[in-house]
Amino acid sequence: MLEIATKVHDEARQGEAFAPFANDPNKYQRRFYIESYGCQMNFSDSEIVASILNGEGFGATRNFEDADLILLNTCSIREKAEQTVRKRLTEFKKLKQSRPSLLIGVLGCMAERLKSKFLEEEKLVDIVVGPDAYRALPQLITEADGGQKAVNVLLSREETYADISPVRLNSNGITAFVSIMRGCNNMCTFCVVPFTRGRERSRDHQSILKECAELFEAGYKEVTLLGQNVDSYYYSSEGSQPVTFAQLLEMVALISPDLRVRFSTSHPKDITDDVLHTMAKHENICKYIHLPLQSGSTRVLQLMNRSYSREWYKAKVERIRELMPDCGISSDIIAGFCTETEEDHQDTLNLMEFSQYDMSYMFFYSERPGTLAQRRYADDVPEEVKKRRLQEIVEMQNGLSLKSNQNDLGKTFKVLIEGTSKRSELHWMGRSSQNKVIVFAKESYDLKPGDYVHVKVNDCTQATLLGEIVVN
């Protein structure tokens, strides 16, 4: 329970991405079913995989019992994430026992981490594909159809899938994720991502702009530019000027003032004044920054190899508030990293208070095989201490989230309507620029998802703002 992010906005897009879009049942010979775990990068990759599979005559199904091919796009970030996938696999393996022609494939970070070991550990898995090898899927499926065990976990220095148009899975038709880079070079000591996703590389800006413009033409009103560390986006090609993240952000913002632009994730060490100024300059670049702190103790930050100190982080938060007083800020926090003392923990709590986060994803430290921390340091904070500290962090954030929402009472926000509220047919659900979920009565206005509307906040919970439409 505590493992997972606590304040997930309660109306927010959640977890699983199941395949399904209306597709012509006669167009495809076989069906695939895909489930995604982990970060948005994985969800975005599943859309690339869907595109590759469509090209191979596979149509998507929402029902795994109808599938000829079941794919799990997996995450390795914490041990619990891997356990979840293993549990799910046992269910699919039962199905395979009764239907041997069914193919089961494991994609993503867990595939990369375990490689062919996966096939030994998890009998009845047919295909193992790492995040940079999805173009090989057709070939691997053919091999698996022929009874071979098919594996491709090669990491690439170049692959960005730039030319592949993702098939939007489970989409609301209004908001979409656009991958702008892959991999990570940061080597935070706790983190498995540099090992599962390989070296950092940026995608050609032209292909990003084309994808965003096409989304807008298709009726989408919001794009989130995705990468493990978007601020280090840097695309250079012979004969043209290199493009930085600030420049890319501006180019996307200029597609249309009616297209909202978000991005995730920023590494505090890399977010520049240029990016902040660009955000401030364009109304349609959302005033929201996810700025993972991890720990509030300079000593622990050093052990984590985060390359900023407590003071440096505080200065960054102050700079954001100075340039954009209305900017939302959220964070990721790890409790109980190696050697963490009570004093370090208190440093985290009071830096959270200083930053006044609107929301945080909070975890206790989970040692990952092969990471620098696992090789260098002992995982020496007892589990009950980790959990108690996490609980304190969660309580701190709950208080900050409520306070942040209470501060919005009486204010009016421009909201992009994403759809009908899950709780009531009579209400819309949308988001403010600050990424807060706002629920409000539809009343008799002629509105639809994708419309912008001004909403005055008149009530709130810790997770959601409640308001009413104001006509201006």
Q: List, as residue ranges, the binding site for [4Fe-4S] cluster.
A: 39, 75, 109, 184, 188, 191
Q: Does residue 111 belong to the site contacting ligand F3S (CB under 6 A)?
A: no
Backbone region of residue 217 per phi and psi (left: phi > 0; alpha: psi in -120 to 50; beta: other values): alpha
Among 34, 39, 271, 286, binds ligand F3S (CB under 6 A): 39
| Number of amino acids touching ligand F3S (CB under 6 A) | 13
Q: Going residue by residue from 171 to 190, which x/- string records binding to ligand SF4, judged by CB under 6 A? A: -------------x-xxx--
Give the tokens for residue 284: 């349609």
- Residue 289: Cβ-neighbour burial (10 angstroms; 0-12, 13-18, 19+): buried
* Side-chain-facing half-sphere of 144: CA atoms under 13 Å: 26
Binding partner selected for residue 196 from ligand F3S, ligand SF4, ligand SAH, none, CB under the kind-specific 5 to 8 Å limit: ligand F3S
Near ligand F3S by CB under 6 A, which window of 12-20, 72-80, 174-182, 369-377? 72-80
Give the tokens for residue 472: 């201006």
Closest separation in Å from C-beta 318 to ligand SAH: 20
Dist. CA 178–CA 372, nearest whole Å: 30
Dist. CA 48–CA 62, nearest whole Å: 17
Give the tokens for residue 51: 């595109």
Near ligand F3S by CB under 6 A, which window of 39-47, 218-226, 305-313, 446-454? 39-47
Binding-site members are: 39, 75, 109, 184, 188, 191
Closest separation in Å from C-beta 267 to ligand F3S: 14
Binding partner selected for residue 41 from ligand SAH, ligand F3S, ligand SF4, none, CB under the kind-specific 5 to 8 Å limit: ligand F3S
Q: What 3-state class would DSSP assign to 294?
A: strand
- Residue 446: Cβ-neighbour burial (10 angstroms; 0-12, 13-18, 19+): exposed
| Chain residues that interact with ligand SAH, rule: CB under 6 A | 77-78, 190-191, 193, 228-229, 265, 267, 292, 294, 332, 334, 363, 365-366, 368
Q: Does residue 228 belong to the site contacting ligand SF4 (CB under 6 A)?
A: yes
CB within 8 A of 315, min separation 6: which ones? none
Q: Which helix (H) or strand (E) holds 218?
A: none
Q: Does residue 42 belong to the site contacting ligand F3S (CB under 6 A)?
A: yes
Closest separation in Å from C-beta 125 to ligand SAH: 24
Alpha-carbon separation of residue 238 from 180, 235, 242, 454 (angstroms):
19, 10, 9, 46
Q: Does residue 229 belong to the site contacting ligand SF4 (CB under 6 A)?
A: yes
311 DSSP assignment: H
Closest CB to ligand F3S among 112 and 418?
Answer: 112
CA-closest candidate to residue 291, choices 273, 325, 319, 267? 267
Q: Which helix (H) or strand (E) holds 314?
A: helix 310-323
Q: Does residue 75 belong to the site contacting ligand F3S (CB under 6 A)?
A: yes
Q: Does residue 77 belong to the site contacting ligand F3S (CB under 6 A)?
A: yes
Contact between 381 and 342 under an 8 Å Cβ cutoff? The reply is no
Which residue ranges make up the site for ligand SF4 (CB under 6 A)? Answer: 184, 186-188, 191, 193-194, 228-229, 267
Kindly list the residues in this chain that would bind ligand F3S in the complex (CB under 6 A): 38-39, 41-42, 75-77, 108-109, 192-193, 196-197
